Amino acid sequence: MARQISFLIILTGITGIDSITTVSKVSVKAGGSISIPCLYEAQYTRNVKYLCKGYYWKSCSYAIKTTQGNMKKYSISDDKEKRIFNVSIGDLMDSDAYYWCAVEISNWGDTGTYFQLSVTSGTPSLYVDHQFKTSTGQSITIKCSHSYSGQNKWCRLGGSCVTKSSGSIDGSSVIISESENFFTVTMSGLKPENSGWYFCVRGDVQMPVHLTVNTGDNTKTTTVSNEDPSTVYQPIIISLSVLILLVMVTLLIWFLFKRHVNRRVPSIAETDEDEITYTVVSHVRKKSSEVQATDEDVVYSNVSQQKQSL
């Protein structure tokens, strides 16, 4: 019994049993790209995540890690709130067949979960037109095209599956309709919390699909509550700052103009009394007996300086 428990502990550390959840087999077209979601446990929220390439876990090699920037062929992102990291692989070729979603664990063996890519030059055996879907209402229909027989399923990553013609997942109703070369999945009663990763299933092949649900007032409320307050009020702050600046500039111009006018036109009250000169001009008519000095009248002026009476 002790050996069995030890073996299970070792196996869990090697293969990542119940530590990371992802799809197992995806059919892809050569030259195209694919996004793979990797759901992990809460205990690994702060750990480094990475994509490892190779058939065997012990000998697989790093393709990309969350501690490095995205590359032309690989990209990776980690949503710590939903505990999902997504890896994208582009320019697909035959050698892109075996990968592992992995998490680094200090002082212990890393944990990883394997998935396979079936690369084909023709039409994939199971595919959707777009992996990322957005619902602006309470319902959405997704078309899963296929080229061979098998059971149809619609599942939520890390959650339940609908295997019959109808069912429900996390409160939303699901209807699966079968056609000759595809089946459609209609989800209704959607809410923002239904956003996340799902996948079509046909036989042993899966195709992951990410669904974003935006429904009316609920979406607006969620969007506002998640925004940074400084971002929400930034336009108002900028407008007020510009208005205050304009008022200050206007007041400064008015003050300078007034000061300039006062300097050029001093008032009488501000003038020194001693600097004011009054001139009294009087005309004296000449007498007939006086001898004319000239042919013109002589004008005499008495000039006196008087102080202004206030």
Could you give the CA distance from residue 75 to residue 68 in angstroms, rounded to a whole number? 9
The confidence score (pLDDT) of residue 234 equals 60
Helices (H), the chain: 2-15, 216-226, 229-264
Comparison of pLDDT for 78 and 223, the residue scoring more: 78
CATH no., domain 126-222? 2.60.40.10
Could you give the CA distance from residue 164 to residue 151 in angstroms, rounded to a whole number? 9
The confidence score (pLDDT) of residue 45 equals 95
Domain layout of the chain by residue ranges: 2-120, 126-222
Query: Domain 2-120 belongs to what topology?
Result: Immunoglobulin-like (2.60.40)
Phi then psi for residue 38, to 5 deg, are: -130, 110
Phi then psi for residue 164, to 5 deg, are: -105, -170
Tell me the average pLDDT of the chain: 80
The confidence score (pLDDT) of residue 233 equals 53
Average pLDDT over residues 201-222: 79
Q: Give the tokens for residue 262.
A: 């006062």
Average pLDDT over residues 53-71: 95
Average pLDDT over residues 152-169: 96
Average pLDDT over residues 273-293: 47
Tell me whether domains 2-120 and 126-222 share a fold. yes
**Which residues is 115 bridged to in the sheet?**
99
Q: Has residue 268 got a pLDDT over 50?
A: no
pLDDT 10s digits, 39-48: 999 999 999 9
Q: Where does the pLDDT of residue 18 fall: very low under 50, low under 70, confident under 90, or very high at 90 and above?
A: low
Could you give the CA distance from residue 75 to residue 80 in angstroms, rounded to a whole number? 16
